[in-house]
Amino acid sequence: MTVRKLKESNFALLGKWCWRMLVDREGLWYHVLVARYGEVGGRLEVGGWSDSSWWRDSGRIRDGDGDSGRGWFGHSVMRRVGDGAETLFWSHR
C-alpha cells in the first residue's frame, strides 16, 4: 500500500466514525466518548492536549483547520430538520 492510499484510507475511516457520531447516539461507544471528551450543544467536544491523535484527527476532518483535505466531512454533510427533535436551532447551520 502506498503512502497516498494510506492517507486516503485513513480519511475514509475517520469519515466513517464522524458519520457514526451523527447517526448512532445511543450506542455504548458514543456514551464512552461523551464521558471522555464531553458534549456541548449536542455535539462532541474536540480540543485540548489530552485528546488522542485519533480524536484530534476526527475533529479536523469534521471542522477543518486550514490544512489540505481537512474539514471535508463537515462541508459534505447536510442536516435535515425533520421533526426538529435532533436539531438545535441556535447551534446547527
Assign 37 a pLDDT band (cuts: 50, 70, 90).
confident
Could you give the CA distance from residue 57 to residue 72 in angstroms, rounded to a whole number? Answer: 12
Could you give the CA distance from residue 43 to residue 63 in angstroms, rounded to a whole number? Answer: 12
Report whether pLDDT(30) > 80.
Answer: yes
Task: For 51-75, write each residue's pLDDT tens digit.
Answer: 788 888 888 887 766 555 567 777 7
- Look over the chain and give the mean of its residue pLDDT values, rounded to a whole number: 76
Strand partners, 39: 44
Contact present, 71 and 60 (Cβ < 8 Å): yes
Residues 6+ apart with CB under 8 A from 16: none
Which grid coordinates belong to 42?
449536542
